[in-house]
């Protein structure tokens, strides 16, 4: 009759010291992996913040340009009352304001960030409680 497959009694038992050493090694590996994940998330956050800063500068420049164009259009409208230059200026101003709005929406999207690491999730929970 063949032997039964390994039963709990047949499995060699590890000593408590070996189990503690393995546990400590697992904790060290987990901590290293968590730190690596946190560094990766910080790099991602840094890149997003740089992109947001660039988009903010572009939005401000476009908005300033739109204000100038709309101001010139207002002057032209007062001087002429009707004419193609007025409508062209208004259309250009509206397009520039729309572009600035798109940049602002892109900035908002870049600032929505979800943390994956335990460290950042823990920090985010602390902020929600305040």
Residue 106 has pLDDT above 50, yes or no: yes
Share of the chain above pLDDT 90, in %: 24
DSSP string, 19-83: HHHHHHHHHHHHHHHHHHHHHHHHHHHHHHHHHHHHHHHHHHHHHHHHHHHHHHHHHHHHHHSS-
At 64-104, the pLDDT tens digits run 888 888 767 766 765 665 566 766 777 767 777 888 889 88
Above 60 in pLDDT, residue 19? yes
Cβ atoms of 100 and 120 closer than 8 Å = no
- Tell me what pLDDT residue 104 has: 87
């Amino acid at each position: 009759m063949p032997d039964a497959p390994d039963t709990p009694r047949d499995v060699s038992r590890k000593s408590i010291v070996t189990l503690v050493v393995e546990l400590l090694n697992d904790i060290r590996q987990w901590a290293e992996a968590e730190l690596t994940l946190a560094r990766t998330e910080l790099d991602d956050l840094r890149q997003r913040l740089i992109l947001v800063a660039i988009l903010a500068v572009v939005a401000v420049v476009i908005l300033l340009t739109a204000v100038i164009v709309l101001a010139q259009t207002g002057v032209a409208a007062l001087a002429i009352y009707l004419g193609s230059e007025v409508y062209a200026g208004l259309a250009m101003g509206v397009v520039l304001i729309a572009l600035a709005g798109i940049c602002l929406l892109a900035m908002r999207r870049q600032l929505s960030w979800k943390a994956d690491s335990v460290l950042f999730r823990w920090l985010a929970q602390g902020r929600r409680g305040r």
